[in-house]
Amino acid sequence: MQNNRLASLLKEAVLTFVISLILFGPISGLVLDGFGFRNELGRSVTLAAIITAGRVLVSLAGMSEIGKRLRSRLTSSNSGVTVNTGQERSPLLPLAVLFLAGLALPFFADKYFLGIAILALIYCLLGLGLNIVVGLAGLLDLGFVAFYAVGAYLLALGYQYLGLGFWSALVIAPFLAGLFGMVLAFPVLKMHGDYLAIVTLGFGEIIRLVLNNWLEFTGGPNGAPVPAPTLFGLEFTRTAKQGGVPIHEFLGISYSGDYKFWFIYVVLFLVVCAVIYAVHRLRVMPLGRMWEALREDEIACRSLGVNHVFTKLSAFMLGASTGGIAGVFFAVHQGFVNPTSFTFFESALILAIVVLGGLGSTVGVVLAAIVLTILPELLRDFAEYRVLVFGILMVVMMIWKPRGLVRLTRPAFFPSSHSEAGIALRLEPQTEAGR
């Protein structure tokens, strides 16, 4: 038995070494030198040896008691969905603490960290929006960034041509983005799966290309400036530029560029909380249930009288609206927009957030958004390898947690006390508790 294990360990180590040698050989073993190349195979051998050692260590750890327990825990939670028992403790207290902590963050964080936090919240919004479309309604959308761009450019161009401010853009953006969502959704609703993904991918690119090439209207690759936000006519700039009063003069304090970011953070935080609440409610509402039912089985839905076209349309529009709101915040945070912010990579990143968080799980999406924004910041030193680490993370996730970081739960429903079934249940409480 012991021998057997050792042999398999050895086999694994040799296999790992060979594969990594094949991979690293050309990548780091051959160095371009003018028109020829130098041979530095020693480097790739070292790299392969490091990887092999790591593989052996992982295997050894997996054989130990702790490793075994860890592994069984990781794999057993794969089963996916569970139904609540209806006796869970209300998470109100921890949520309230989180809410207050989130609101108080600007007082503790420096400007750099606040910037990351704003970005993380923007991705939260995007993830929540896409989660409605992909996670709940099951429509794969690869062009979600288009609605993000619509929101961002609404503020930039609206200011330029119509004199819209931050607040009016914030109100108009969900409707405009929803309208764009409807325009996209109408022709594509008959499609399923891969076809839908390709069409939405195309739509995302169309929006970006239009923004890039319509020089007279959008400013093309040069982008467009975005006004700073205001609060009841108070401005966050050193001198008033939009006909208001600078906030530091109004309050009689000294000027700091941070005020603007504090303001954006607080408003964004409140909006994210509102959206989280709405999405959370949606999951137990008839509309949200219909989306999920549509994801599970469209034909069965039609047999139950669900209008599948309008249901899909509503998912698309609500998802797009959320993306539009995120766009407004992105624009006002950056102070400038141009088409390079809205590439396909951005769509893929948002999709990664949704998949990583677990399709359909609100908590998971929020966590994944935070992880995927903070991770690149922590990896600044390895900027070159960022995408590689990303890829490895995704592969590992798909192997061990294919259903996402957070396990899905479904709400429990009980009959009201005055109905017949409710009385029957009350008489036999032990059958329910026995489950």
Partner 1 sequence: MKTPILEVQNVTMRFGGIVANRDVSFAAERGAITALIGPNGAGKTTIFNCITGFYRASEGRILLNGRNGPQDIGQLMTRPITGGSHLVTRAGIARTFQNIRLFKEMSVVENLLVAQHLATRNNLLSGVFRTRAYRAAETEAVDRAYFWLSQMNLASDANRLAGELPYGRQRRLEIARAMCTSPALICLDEPAAGLNPSETRELSEVIQRLCAEHDLSVLVIEHDMGLVMRIADHIVVLDHGEVISDGTPDSVANDPAVIAAYLGVSEEEVTA
Residues lying near partner 1 in the complex (CB under 8 A) are found at 80-86, 277-278, 281-282, 285-287, 289-290, 292-293, 296-297, 299-309, 318, 408, 410-416, 419-422, 424-425, 431-432, 435
Smallest gap, in angstroms, from Cβ of residue 329 to partner 1?
A: 21
Smallest gap, in angstroms, from Cβ of residue 14 to partner 1?
A: 42
Residues 342/148, Cβ–Cβ less than 8 Å: yes
Asked whether the CA dihedral 262, 268, 269, 270 is positive or negative, the reply is positive
Can you state the angle between helices 193-213 and 145-157, rounded to 10 degrees? 30
Strands 36-39 and 234-235: unpaired
Smallest gap, in angstroms, from Cβ of residue 117 to partner 1?
A: 26
CA distance 61 to 59: 5
Nearer to partner 1, 66 or 92 (CB): 92
Residues in the chain: 435
- Structure token pair of residue 149: 């761009």
Nearer to partner 1, 214 or 414 (CB): 414
CA angle 286, 291, 202 (to 5 degrees): 145
Smallest gap, in angstroms, from Cβ of residue 73 to partner 1?
A: 22
CA distance 244 to 225: 19
Nearer to partner 1, 289 or 401 (CB): 289
Phi, psi (rounded to 5 degrees) for 36: -110, -165
Smallest gap, in angstroms, from Cβ of residue 273 to partner 1?
A: 13
Nearer to partner 1, 81 or 101 (CB): 81
Nearer to partner 1, 89 or 380 (CB): 89
User: Three-state DSSP class for 141?
Assistant: coil
CA distance 114 to 139: 34
CA angle 158, 163, 167 (to 5 degrees): 75
Nearer to partner 1, 128 or 234 (CB): 128
Nearer to partner 1, 12 or 292 (CB): 292
Kindly state the DSSP code that residue 242 receives in the 8-state scheme: S
Nearer to partner 1, 40 or 432 (CB): 432
Nearer to partner 1, 171 or 285 (CB): 285
Smallest gap, in angstroms, from Cβ of residue 102 to partner 1?
A: 21
Asked whether the CA dihedral 227, 230, 232, 233 is positive or negative, the reply is negative
Smallest gap, in angstroms, from Cβ of residue 431 to partner 1?
A: 6
Strands 409-410 and 234-235: unpaired
Nearest alpha-carbon partner for 415 in 404, 406, 405, 426: 426
Strands 36-39 and 336-337: unpaired
Nearer to partner 1, 310 or 385 (CB): 310
Nearer to partner 1, 227 or 319 (CB): 319
Smallest gap, in angstroms, from Cβ of residue 75 to partner 1?
A: 19
Measured between alpha carbons, how far apart are the two ends of the chain, in Å? 41
Can you state the angle between helices 362-378 and 386-400, rounded to 10 degrees? 150
Strands 409-410 and 245-246: unpaired
Smallest gap, in angstroms, from Cβ of residue 425 to partner 1?
A: 7
Residues 346/372, Cβ–Cβ less than 8 Å: no
Residues 323/207, Cβ–Cβ less than 8 Å: no
Smallest gap, in angstroms, from Cβ of residue 301 to partner 1?
A: 7
CB-based burial label for 366 (10 Å; 0-12, 13-18, 19+): buried
Smallest gap, in angstroms, from Cβ of residue 292 to partner 1?
A: 6
